[in-house]
Structures are given as C-alpha cells and as structure tokens.
Amino acid sequence: MAVIANLRLPRKDGLSLLLELRRDRRTTDLPVLLISDQAGGSDVTRGIELGAEDVFTPPLQIDVL
C-alpha cells in the first residue's frame, strides 16, 4: 500500500497530509509519493525533506510511477 497525493489539494495540501502520516506511528512507514505541478521549487525539496519517497512533476509518466 502507498499514498499518492497532489501537493495542491482543495482541502488539505499534500505536505500537510504527509506530515500527518509521518506523525502517526501507524502510518509513519507508509510510502508517500507526491505530485507537484511545478518542476523544481521549494515544494519538491520540502516534500523530500519531510519524508516523501519521491515527488513527481509534469509530465507524469505512469511507467516511471
């Protein structure tokens, strides 16, 4: 099982979701992949720093995912 989340979600952004998952002992090791609409940028760096497995940027290639 893994979580794939966009950094730009309507109610809760992907970084907030990632933080919640990392703080909960039941989900701390759950792989999280983030999708960013910006290549590079601080969100990508922050996602990796917070423990995302990877951050994908457009164009998203399913075979890479």
- pLDDT tens digits for 3-62? 999 888 888 888 999 999 999 999 999 999 998 877 667 888 888 999 999 988 877 777
* Per-residue pLDDT, 25: 95
Give yes or no for a contact between 45 and 15, defined as CB atoms under 8 angstroms apart: no
In degrees, rounded to 5, the angle at the alpha carbon of residue 18 between the alpha carbons of residues 62 and 65 is 10
Answer whether the bond into residue 59 is a cis peptide, omega within 30°. yes
Helix (H, G, I), strand (E, B) or coil at 32: strand
